[in-house]
Homo-oligomer: A and B are copies of this chain.
């Protein structure tokens, strides 16, 4: 009997990250300014994987095991810094996204076809 998803909600992961930083005395580095810089650096490491690829090649990156691992690793890093930023600023990432989708549904009616 497995309970595979026990840790897998965002709030739990955010808590693990906060505990991880506290146990290593890294909170002093975690100013909002530093965390947004780190977030943008990790987002650029994702861009680096794709920068010379054609659109078609970019759609097949997960077929190569090593690249797939690298992509998942960078996705994790982006999410980690985003959650640590939310932690220090008191932002609820899920509520922020929920509100944003609501606004976009009003702003871009479904029959609008131009981005």
**Residues of chain A at the chain B interface (Cβ within 8 Å):** 7-10, 13, 16-17, 20, 23-26, 29, 31-34, 36-41, 43-55, 58-59, 61-62, 71-73, 75-80, 82-83, 85-86, 88-91, 93-101, 104-105, 108, 110, 112-113, 115
Contacts and interface: CB of A to CB of B under 8 A. Distances in A.
Contact of A54 (B55, B94, B98): B55
Contacts of A91: 62, 71-72, 75
Contact of A72 (B58, B96, B104): B96
Contacts of A58: 31-33
Contacts of A115: 24, 26, 29, 52
B89 A71 contact: yes
